[in-house]
């Protein structure tokens, strides 16, 4: 990863893995988010292969948030959100 970072610091590191591997995931997070202070995003190859508009939207929201962007902001809280919620099961 040191070669990847080099003298130019990337804004984000995205890793696409063939299968779930907690050791690789943990190492990517430790090095990127921890050691180099670079946001990381890890995706599974099968998710990328089956990507649909909803998944793409969620990934973009996540990336935007990790890069310091604001995803949604309400100028004013609607009255309906101020009332208690009742649930019927």
Residue 41 above 80 pLDDT? yes
Average pLDDT in the 73-81 region?
78
Q: What is the mean pLDDT of the chain?
A: 84
Question: How far apart are the C-alpha atoms of 65 and 39, rounded to whole Å?
Answer: 10
Q: Is the pTM of this model over 0.85?
A: no
Average pLDDT in the 70-86 region?
76
Question: How far apart are the C-alpha atoms of 89 and 80, rounded to whole Å?
Answer: 20
Residue 70 above 80 pLDDT? no
Q: Which residue has the higher pLDDT, 63 or 72?
A: 63
pLDDT at res. 89: 62
Q: Under DSSP, is residue 74 helix (H, G, I), strand (E, B) or coil?
A: coil
| Cβ–Cβ under 8 Å, residues 15 and 43 | yes
| Cβ–Cβ under 8 Å, residues 13 and 39 | yes
Nearest to 5 by CA among 13, 56, 49, 47: 13
How many Cα atoms are found within 13 Å in the side-chain-facing hemisphere of 66?
20
Q: Which residue has the higher pLDDT, 1 or 3?
A: 3
């Amino acid at each position: 990863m040191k070669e990847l970072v080099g003298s130019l610091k990337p804004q984000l590191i995205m890793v696409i893995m063939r299968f779930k591997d907690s050791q690789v995931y943990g190492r990517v997070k430790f090095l990127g988010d921890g050691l180099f202070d670079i946001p990381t995003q890890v995706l599974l190859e099968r998710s990328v292969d089956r990507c649909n508009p909803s998944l793409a939207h969620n990934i973009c929201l996540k990336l935007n948030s990790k890069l310091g962007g604001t995803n949604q902001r309400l100028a004013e809280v609607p009255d309906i959100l101020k009332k208690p919620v009742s649930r019927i099961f």
